[in-house]
Every structure is written in structure tokens, then in C-alpha cells.
Structure 1
């Protein structure tokens, strides 16, 4: 087991750069970097690596997620709802990874913010369904506006009809304004993301803290299980896969789905196979829009592959479900069992209360259960659907500039910051307008090659779990519930970790399981997962749910009891331990382990 050997984490100012990564700081905006003139304040703060959302090195353009997420979270906390105790999050990129530091509200401002928060948040809780329906309309309108953006090649000349009509603007204006619109709509999407999210956590937190007062010995997992067992739109993509698997067996076309390398050719074969195949394809098309706007990543990286764009991903999952059906297995989520477990636990705790306290318990629980689904459902609408369209349009622009000679590969644009992209785009339209060769055609190819080398060097070193000085205690609730960071986790990280005997983490989803570990570094490793293994990952994504039918448990490096990984594992009745710190580094594939999701322990058995 780990033993404490340090009292602080490395300073970001003294941590040596990985060999070959020299110059990485020049790749990111100044406000995302630790600056020397802020050294004293930064070194005395606590910064944790948010590998839950950014488990891999972040390219310069991809910082847009970290920037907009932190800005919009802070805006809703600090300026919109006036959350009494918590402002927002400071964010930095260090050696390619995202680090966060919570910003508490000043102690002398807390009391004055309480009545305003109660008024503003109370209005939302009192009109939740109406406001949420309005929210969904706003999100879908943002998606439609993103879909309408086009990045068309510049014409040889403007059409004479436009000249004669006195249009006055043309293709270059459309390109420049289209890019600005793309960024603005991405920002709007992140504003939508946080309109309800922190209220969802606040409702759960209010119930959580009340339970702590009423039942001092209640485990965090006990509170979480009182709100489990709900229908969520985040699980709809997986439900559609199961429905398509059942339909394939019903129509006797399951053999068409058995190729070892499913893909677009599988769909063409079904189309040519007769009426049953075409009927199945009609169901596929109905599910594809919108439910396959889903990525096996998390929506924060330009390289994330979406089900709607690569049919091999959902077809592979459908094939696995078909095989399980043919073996006579049940593939449906045991929602009735989760609900029964939830109601049993709720009833047991409720009976412990004085009758006068029960109406308060019921009211707080009702609000928590009302808000709880949004904590996951927003994931589909923003991280997956909205960001999926955003990345698709960004890749379209990158291909256009590649065709214009700015870089050699389709995805090279993401090695630029978004402000540099704006400069390159203007360089492109200026060269077109003046009939000259753009400077970027000579400047960017070698510069991108240099940046590629730096990115590769950064990726060869795993990030420090934290930087700076840990606080004497962690009281910020979201840091505890979402990221699983508390005093015990910090002590474990400071001790350096050891997998010779076992690891401790957050009890995230109850149950015990044993099996060989399968380390999953990212979506590409999912095809390697075998029946009966235990997933060990930096973090899991909601879209990994189809794989959960194969595995016995899950272990992650980061995440609290209300993290996405914890919630999804509970809803799929999969034992899970989150927030271990470095399980994916310390436990190799094939090592036999025992996972106890009730106590939060991972034991190495061989």
C-alpha cells in the first residue's frame, strides 16, 4: 500500500519538460500558462489534473473545450445563480495536460449571496420541466445553426450575377464570418451546458448534506443509490443498439452482421439482401439520427470518432449483442432491479427519521431525483451531439486549408490555436484576393511538423496527478463528488501509489468482482476487451456502456461518486472503484485483481 513520502506536489515552475518537448509553452495562449510573475500564488495553490475530461495531451486548438467549459461554469456559478460558497475554476495547460484549481467564494460574500441564490435557483427548481424543455429547444437550434455552416472553396471569380446585383460581399466574407460563427456557436453550446448542470449537482448536494446530518454514518454511495434507477437519454444510443440487435434476430438477418470487420460494406450487403435487410436498414437510419451522434471518446478532442461517421463502431457493438442473444443471455439493463434497490434503501433510511422530518426528506429527495437525470443527459446533447457537429465542421475547414497548401494532412489545423486559425484563414483569403501565394503555405508545414514532434514528446510522459500545495482539507463539494478528490486521495497521490498489494479509491458502484485486468488507454483499445475482464482506465466514457456487458467491473484513475463513470456503472449494475489516482499506470493488462465497489478497494491477486 502507498505510504506518505511528500507533503506537496511538484511545482509547475520546476517540473522538467519531457525530452523533445522544449518550447511547448509557445503553443498555447498566455492565459492558459503558469506565468512567472504569478509564481508565488500559483505554487501555493492546489492544481489537480482533470484527466476525467482531458486524459490525453491537448493540441492547441483543442483547448477550446477547457477554456469555454471553465469560463461558462464560472459564469453560471458567480454571476448568474450566485452560488454562495463557490465561484469557478482556474485552469492551466501544463506540459499538454489540463489542470484545475477551485475558486471559493470569499467568506465575507457568502451570506449576502444566499438569498439571491435561493431566489434564482428556486425559480429553476420550481419550473424545472418547462425551463428544461426550453433548454432543449435552444440546444437543438444551436445544432441546426452549426450544421448550416459551410466552408466552400473560393471561386476563381465572383459570379457575374452577384456583381450585377450589387452584392458587395462574396466568398471570402462567407469564409471569415463562417469561422467566427463556428467559434461563437461552440461557446453558446457551452453556455447551454452549464445552465442546468450546477443546479443538478446543487440539488443532489443539498440532499447529500441533509442525509449526512440525519444519518452521520451514511456512506456517500448510500446516498447515490437513493437516486439511481432512472431512464436517461444518455443511455438511448445503447438502447438503440440493443433494439437493432433484437430486430436482426427477429428478421433473420443476424448472419449479415457477423463479419469480423463490420463497416459500410455491411450496410451495403444488407441493402442488397432483400426486404428483411432493407427493413433493418430503415430502423438503422431512424436510430442514426440523432442517437448515433455519439463518440467513443468524450467530445473534447478533434480526433474523436463518432458512430454516425464510422458505422464500424455501432455495428461492432450490435454484433456483440447479437452473439449474446444467440447464447440466450439477457442484454437489457436491469432497471426494475435498480428501482427496487433504490426504493428499499430509501425506505430504510426514511424509517429512521422522526415523522416530523420525513416531509423535508421527501421534498429534498424529490428535487434531487428531478434534477439528477440532467447531470448525465446534457452529456449527449452537448459533449457528444453539439461538439460532434463542431468538430466535423472544423475538420471541413482544415481540409479546405490543406487543399490550399497550408499543411500536408487533413487534421493539421488542430496544431494551431483558434486565433492562429483565424490568421491563417485571413492569409488564405488575402492571397486569393491579391492573386499571390499565401505566406502560410511556406510558414505552416515546417511549423506544424515541429509542433507534432512536441506533442508526441509530451504524450510520452503521463501527467502528475496534481501540482502545488494540497489544502489542509477539501471542502469544495463538486471537487469531491465529481472528481473524487479528498484528503485520502491526496495522501495516496503523495505516497506515489503501489499496486503490489492494492489500491484504494472511491466506492462508486456496489458489488465485488474478480478477473484479469484490461488496461484501456482510449476508445481504440475497446476492441481488445474480452469476456470476463475488468476495465482499468484513466476514465471511462458513457459510450463504453455496450462493452459493460462483457466485463465484470471497472476501475478508473479519477472520478468521484457523482462522476460520469460512477453514475453509468451504477446504472448498469457494474462494480466500480473510481479515483484511484494511477491504477491504469500501476496495474498491467492480464494482472488478476479483485474490485470491491462497496468499499472502494482494488486488490492484486497474483
Structure 2
């Protein structure tokens, strides 16, 4: 269903106020009846709260959760969005921003920012300055401590191992007077794994919101002293930084260059069988050096997912080595074709300094000093805005999902569900009940109840999730405000007043043209390549323009092939926008429907200066 036809009048055709559907009026797709029962009560729109929930504007966060979220996977946004709110409203006391409410609707995540009462803003300012100021003044030492804390959390998660309960308690445990059995450890380890993930997500936001705040502070200052400055000019002032998020891709390039140097490129003709390919390399001259580099690159940089880290089915490079090997082959091919595969950081730095100095020349005295200070702070903290993504979404969550799949496999072997990863159709509190059922049956020497209950229930839920996946989510729900002003909504998600009008079919639309966010400057023309998942990246050809609902950081290895990027959602500070700017590539984000209105093969023009995408065919 198009967003134009989805738009409706809130109180009939006579009213001038336009609105998106109410979640209470939108039925689920056929076969998904009863879907709300799969999720916790606080995650869905409750009937007795209709007046309250319809008074709020909700937008779909398809940037982070682009597909239907299974019951166990809600842990991602419950921890992430909850911890984001904690740092805004309880830890940092950001004057103008609290947290974000969230609800599930037809399997997708919707968000509604919580406003700060106007009368509270002034009182929060000095508290925020004291708390945030301490971090800004001690950024490097606190960030170093952050790495220590997070690595200890990851190591503890790695130390947990889920295995089937033994036939009997080990004799050494009995004779030592230990007094407890392995069922106690199993229950405790599950609780500990959940708690460790929760801890990691609190670390995630310890610095992230400050990174956004520093950039927003620079942004607002520039808008006040340079009224005509573009959003892109401000973004350019902080580009060209050395981000650790690019290290996985840099490791692939290093391995590709070494394969060329050591005469191993013919081995990469077929990368589908990783074990056989690596064995062949081991038997070749120069292979030992390459394999040593391969092993060194893996830890930690191959803890990188082809998705975004929020889904149990995301595949990680270290678990599926054929994925990085295929990317290495792509770089080998480009080297043989005479291309420079390295990112031109120096060009970005030159452009950054040129833009910065041009605007600095317009200031003097205190204003110039303030400008310099805000630029310096933003450049110091800006790298974390992307770097955290590797350490939390990729590395930490990679370990978490690997351990949870291990647990699911244990319970499948005990007959609780038919397929290895079926545990994710249960809520995490239900998994705790299953574990107690399993442990209790083991303790008393009688069969657990779960194998007679869960297989049929899992199949029912599998059918509901599959039915939910047949319908695309509404971009938003209820009546939007007259003007979108919440800064994070604008910068991160690209939810602007103009974009909402476009979704409603009320904007200044031109046939064959899509409007979005001017996320990365430049103009490019070429054939569109529409992809919806990492499994399609192999289809990308040289000169294509990538069109997707949303991109993932691990898609960077194909950026050397493409001319521009178009996404359905995302603002100036979205991952897609930042990565494209760092690669000097035009990008238009937040088009809303680009991936459905554009077809693979169509010639399109992407104008990253104006935020327009034109279908030329």
C-alpha cells in the first residue's frame, strides 16, 4: 500500500488536518490474528489506553528494525531505547530531550519522543553542564576506561557456555561439598547473559548521546552565526576522521593486497567453500603468511555482522567466513582492474579544512574563539558516534546471539521445539520458564512438560510472524505535529516536516522524483540496484547506485563499486549518511519509499546536494 493511499483524514474528509492511520484501526495481515499475544503487554497498544496512545505521533524505526521482530528479539530495542532514555533524562539531564516511548504494531517498532516540559528546561541546564562537562573535559581517559569495562563484559559473556544437563552430578562436586547442581548454573548463566547484555547497552549510551549533543551544539551555533549555511557544510567540518568502524573493511583490503603480493589470487575464484579455500591457501607458497594475517584480522575485527546486530539471524564474519572471503575477492578483482581500493582520507581532510576556514574568516573575536572550541570538541567526540557501533551492535551482540543460539540448540535437542533457532519465537521471560521446566524435570527424574507444549505453539507463532512479514509497515501512526523540532528525530532518523508531507502525499511532488535528506554531497547517475538484505550484495555491479530500505556498516566493501546511495530512512547523522560522506559518495536518505518505487536497472540521478532522486527512465 502506498503512503499516499495510507493517508487519511483524522475526523472525516471535511477536516483540514491530515493523519496517518491509527494503530487501533489498522488490522493485521491475514494469518497474523492474535499477534499481540506474542509480545509483552507493555510493548503493544492496549485498548483501554486508546485516547492516550492516539494523542501521540509515532514513526516506524525501520532504520534499526527494518523487518518483523520475533518475541525474543525485542530485547534489542527494549535495552537500546530504554538505555538511551536513561542517559537523556536521568544521567545527563539533557535540557531539551527525554527518552523515547516505543510500541510494537503488526510486528514492527514505532517510536514517539518524550518532550521535556518547558518549565523544566532551565533547571536542567546547569545540571547538564556539570555532568556533560565532566565527560567533555576528561573524554580520552573516560573513553579508555570505557574500553576496559566493555572488554571485560565481552570476555565474561564469552566465558558462558550452555550445554545439556548431565546424567548425574560430577563426583568431585559431590565429594567437595559444593552443595548445588548444574541446573543452578544453567539458570544463573542465562540470567547473567541477559544482565551482561543490559550492562553493555548502558555502556553504549554512556558516550553516544554526548557525541550527538556536541555535534548538535556546533550545528545550532553555525546556524545562528551563518544563517545561510547548509547542513552538509556543517557535516563536512567534522569529516575525515579515523574511525574504528572502518577497521573490518580495512582488514579485508589488507588481506586482498597480501593475496595479490603473494600470488594467491587464483585461489579466490570460488569463495563459497571457506574451509577448502583456506586449506588450499595453507598449501601454497606465501600461504602461511596470509593465513597468519587472516587469523590476526579476525580478532576482533571479524566480529562484524552483515545485518545490524538486532536480529538473532544476523550472520557474523567470524561465523560465516565465506562472507569476508567474498569481499576480499571483490577487492582483488578491483586491484587487478587497476583501481585504488583505499579510502581517500586526505581529500576529505583538505575539504574539511577548506570549508572550516572559509567560515572562520567570517568571524572574529569571541565568536571566532567559540567557533574554534565547538569545532574542536565535535571532532574529538564525533568518532564515537560510529565507533560504538562496532563494539556494541557488532561485537557484543555477536557474542550474545551466538550464545543464545547455543542455548536454543540445547533445548531443541531436548525436544522443546523442532528447529535449532526456534527459541527466538519465545519472549525472554518465557525462556526462563522453559529453563526452569527443563531443570525441574531433570532434578526430579521425570520428563519436562515443555516438549509436549512448545512445538505446536512455536509452529503457531512461526505462522503469525510469517504472516506479519507479508505487509510493509506504515511509515507513521496518528496525527503528526505541525512542525518536527525534536533534534535527534531530525538528525538521526531524518523525520522532517517535509518528509511527513511527502508520506502523506501532500508535499510538492514531481512525477518521477523522490525527495529525501541531502545526506552527502555530489551528483551521480547510473543504474539502480535495489537490495533489501546483505545476501544480495553479490549482485552489485560496478557503476550501480545502491537503493535500499536501509544500509548496514558491513556493506562498506561494495562502496568501492557504487556511485551513490539512496535509502528509505535516515537523517544527517544516520550510519548511511556518515559512511557515504566518509567515502566521498553522494547520498539521499529518508526518501520513504525509494526501495519500492525504484526498480533494479532503472537509470536514476542522485543529487546529494538537494536531496532529490530522479528516475530517468
Same fold (TM over 0.5): yes
Q: How does 1:465-504 map to 2 (within 5 A)?
A: 465-495=475-505, 500-504=511-515
**Which residue in the other structure is 1:290 paired with?**
300
- d(CA) in 2 for partners of 1:120, 1:106: 20
Q: Show the counterpart of 1:506.
A: 517
State which of 405, 409, 421 in structure 2 corresponds to 1:399. Answer: 409
Secondary structure at the counterpart of residue 529 of structure 2: strand
Tell me, yes or no, if the aligned pair for 1:142 and 1:185 is still in contact at 8 Å. yes
Match of 1:243 in 2: 254
Q: Which SS does the other structure have where 1:352 is aligned? A: coil
The answer to whether the 8 A contact 1:230-1:373 is kept is yes
Question: Are 2:340 and 1:330 aligned?
Answer: yes
How far 1:499 moved relative to its partner? 8.7
1:359 aligns with 2:355: no
- Corresponding residue for residue 100 of structure 2: 89
Matches within 5 A, 1:85-164: 85-164=96-175
What is the deviation of 1:101?
Answer: 0.4
The 1-side partners of 2:325 and 2:271 are apart by 10
SS class of match (1:515): strand
2:326 to 300, 312, 316: 316
CA distance in 2, matches of 1:35, 1:222: 45
Aligned length: 605
**Counterpart Cα distance in 2 of 1:180 and 1:513:** 51
Aligned-residue offset at 1:258: 2.3
Kept after mapping to 2: 8 A contact 1:407/1:448: yes
Q: Distance in 2 between matches of 1:472 and 1:354?
A: 38
Q: What SS class does the counterpart of residue 122 from structure 1 fall into?
A: helix
Cα distance per residue 1:412-465 (max 9 Å; x no partner): 000000000000111111111112121110111111111111111111111000
1:496 positional shift = 8.1
Do the aligned partners of residues 166 and 484 (structure 1) sit closer, same or farther apart at CA in structure 2, a change above 3 Å counting?
same
Residue 14 of structure 2 corresponds to: none
Shift of 1:261: 2.6
CA distance in 2, matches of 1:287, 1:113: 45
Q: Which shows bigger deviation, 5-14 or 60-69?
A: 5-14
Is this contact kept in 2: 1:2–1:496, CA < 8 A? no
1:39 to 43, 50, 55: 50
Which residue number corresponds to residue 208 of structure 1?
219
Map 1:256-267 to 2 at 5 A. Answer: 256-259=267-270, 261-267=272-278
**Structure 2: how far apart are the matches of 1:92 and 1:119?**
33
- Report the TM-score, using the length of structure 2 for normalisation: 0.96
Deviation for aligned residue 1:590 = 1.5
Partners in 1 of 2:408 and 2:85 — Cα distance?
Answer: 31
Give matches, 1:23-102, under 5 Å.
23-102=34-113
Q: Gaps (5+ residues) in structure 1?
A: none
SS at 2:19 equivalent: coil
**1:217-256 correspondence runs (5 A):** 217-256=228-267
Question: Is the 1:499–1:583 contact (alpha carbons within 8 Å) kept by the matching residues of 2?
Answer: no
Q: Hey, what's the Cα distance between the residues in 2 that align with 1:499 and 1:540?
A: 26
- Computed over aligned residues only, the root mean square deviation of the Cα atoms, in angstroms, reads 1.4
Q: How does 1:442-481 map to 2 (within 5 A)?
A: 442-481=452-491
Instruction: Normalising by structure 1, report the TM-score.
Output: 0.98
CA deviation string 1:283-337 (max 9, x = no partner)? 0000000000001100000000000111111000100101111111100000000
Moved over 2 A (4+): 1-6, 496-500
Q: Aligned partners of 1:370, 1:117: CA distance in 2, in Å?
A: 19
